[in-house]
Chains A and B, each alone.
Chain A
Amino acid sequence: MYKGTVWKVGNDVDTDVIIAARYLNDASDENMRKHCLEDAIPNFSQVISAGDILVAGKNFGCGSSREHAPISIKVSGVSCVIAESFARIFYRNAINIGLPIIASPEAAAEIQAGDELEVDVEQGIIKNLTQGKAYQGETFPPFIQEIIAAGNLLNYVKAKVEAK
């Protein structure tokens, strides 16, 4: 269960905007945290509070396959991301590295910046405490839930390889 304040971004937020390629020569968590979303929300790394929730429009994370994008969001302190829809590679990457995400077109449309949310990713339930509304977002198929339960994809694969 995550509780936090909303930051809102629009449609088609691409991975270059989430973390620009000019910072990809240093994949350290500190470098990722420092420059996360800086071309969309100035000084995001300084204004965000740990646990805050990012709400986006359609096709969030489109573009490059860089895993640095969900990593930068995670290490900047964002607890989870809600979007109308996610770009394919970003969706996988978020699951693989353990960044909680929920797709919910209704929630993404109605939630406003600054709203207080309570989110249950496992059940896909989003409660907007400010507006007094609740939404049922998409839940993950059992196979993906196993990856999430393992913490990340490599823990899951390691267990599988070692079992052989």
Chain B
Amino acid sequence: MGMTITQKILAAHAGLPEVKAGQLITAKTDIVLSNDITGPVAVREMKKVGITDVFDKDKIAMIPDHFSPTKDIKSAEQCKVIRDFAKEHNIKHYYEVGKMGVEHCLLPEQGIVGPGDLIIGADSHTCTYGALGAFATGMGSTDIAAAMISGETWLRVPEAIKVIVTGKPENSWISGKDVILYIIGQIGVDGALYQSLEFVGDGVQYLSMDSRLTICNMAIEAGAKNGIFAVDDITRAYVKDRFQREPVEYFSDADAEYVREIVVDLSTLQPQVAFPHLPSNTKEIGTFGDVAIDQVVIGSCTNGRMEDMQAAAKILKGKKVAPYLRLIVIPGTPEVYRQCMREGLIDIFMEAGGVVSTPTCGPCLGGYMGILAKGERALATTNRNFIGRMGDPESEVYLCNPVIAAASAITGKISAPEEVEA
């Protein structure tokens, strides 16, 4: 029986000629990631059992991005825990404020993760890196502590779902966000529980690396263990002069087994909006009545990359945000921020009446930098719209792509770009 890309990467890292779905394996890790929320708990657990040595200082990444630049004394103490740990162990991939970006924007951009890698991170959106042809999955702090000590982790080899992306986009406003929201809407928030989502098909060539990163980022919102794209020329162009190690390319065997197939036709796909309180509660733009909004957030590990900023700026150029609406734009990394400056996008956002924040996860998880009051409603390019996710338990979050977010900031209600007056 053939293997999927995911299964091949797992077999290689477990030192086995082949693995089968359902098998429990112990695999070596290339990068072990944590942040300012999960890292301190991992450090605490290591101290509890009296182990302070790490397996390899060059294979550990610690990124203070969630509540950083620190929002209060308690979060400052948490950031200090990982900063002190990074200093003590000379951790290679520690990024201080100023260099720090949202972890899942930063690691691919800086070439810390790449094709063929096995990456685990104490953050559920670690699955983002599957876009590069890597196996990447989120775990908890104790798993990350164990891997920081041993350089290994236990995994159950997942079954795979084949997602066939077909056709060429007709609607120029769609991007990776619409592909993944559509899929989650089709299969539900546990539709890929414990399984891989593997993206294939003739439509994949129309998905940029930024779109692929968005798609794999939200694989977890369908319950998936990982999302993955095979390496192609788009991947090779992205990792060239960027990835710090040698890329290894894996491809699924023709007789690899898939538990089911899902088809996404890009030629008919329209912008998607996920209504509260699950990412699976999706509706096509234009199929629902007026939804007035109080705040728009453009950023996060899902849509904080350069293409996202460019897409939003294209809509916002020369326009003004609606009265009383707050537009918060958060470039995902310092590099994205600076590129926005070079391209004049920061001016566009600010002239429109938006605010541009330093990179942080901030409002996406209800941390800070745009928390909602009771009864308020936000439209966001983020990844979750759970109850209380961005603030008060009685506030609401709607999810969409950066174009819809920008258009809606102008009209004050969830809108397609066509609804913005010329």
Contact = CB atoms under 8 A, between A and B. Distances in A.
Contacts of A68: 37, 41
A67 interface: yes
Contacts of B50: 158
B378 to A, nearest CB: 15
Interface in B237-289: 278
Contacts of A26: 74
Interface stretch (B9-17, B134-142, B304-312, B400-408): B134-142
Contact of A158 (B41, B49, B67, B121): B49
Given A26-B74, A97-B142, A17 B387 contact: yes
Interface stretch (A48-56, A81-89, A129-137): A81-89
A63 B365 CA distance: 11
B367 A21 contact: yes
A65 B42 CA distance: 12
B122 interface: yes
Contact of B24 (A17, A92, A143, A160): A143
Given A17-B387, A20-B366, A65-B140, A25 B67 contact: yes
B78 interface: yes
B374 interface: no
B42 to A, nearest CB: 9
Nearest to B76: A25
Given A12-B278, A143-B24, A59 B49 contact: no
A160 to B, nearest CB: 7
Interface in A71-90: 85, 87-89
Given A12-B189, A161-B150, A154 B48 contact: yes
B124 A64 contact: yes
A154 B145 contact: yes
Q: How large is the interface on A (under 10, 10 to 19, 20 to 34, 35 or more residues)?
A: 35 or more
Interface string A151-164: 01111011011000
B366 A66 contact: no
B142 A67 contact: yes
A141 B44 CA distance: 28
Nearest to B50: A158
B418 interface: no
B143 A16 contact: no
B208 interface: no
B123 A67 contact: no
Contacts of A155: 49
A104 interface: no
A27 B78 contact: yes
B38 A65 contact: yes
A68 B143 CA distance: 13
B319 interface: no
A25 B126 CA distance: 21
B101 interface: no
A131 to B, nearest CB: 27
A154 B278 CA distance: 34
A157 B48 CA distance: 13
Contacts of B124: 63-65, 89
A21 B366 contact: yes
Contacts of A141: 24
Contacts of B140: 65-67, 70, 89, 92-93, 96-97
Interface in A1-60: 12, 14, 16-17, 20-22, 24-27, 39, 58-59
A155 B211 CA distance: 41
A59 B193 contact: yes
B51 interface: yes
Contacts of A70: 140
Interface string B29-51: 00000000110110011101111
A117 interface: no
B112 interface: no
Given A67-B141, A89-B140, A22 B366 contact: yes
A138 B41 CA distance: 29
B223 A59 contact: yes
A101 interface: no
Given A20-B366, A92-B143, A96-B140, A25 B225 contact: no
6 contacts: A25-B74, A67-B122, A88-B223, A158-B149, A161-B51, A161-B150
Given A63-B124, A64-B365, 19 more contacts: A17-B386, A20-B393, A21-B66, A24-B37, A27-B41, A27-B44, A27-B78, A39-B388, A62-B189, A62-B190, A65-B38, A66-B140, A85-B190, A85-B193, A89-B124, A97-B140, A97-B142, A154-B45, A158-B51
- List the 5 shortest-distance A-B pairs measured between CB atoms, nearest first: A93-B140, A67-B140, A59-B190, A25-B74, A96-B142
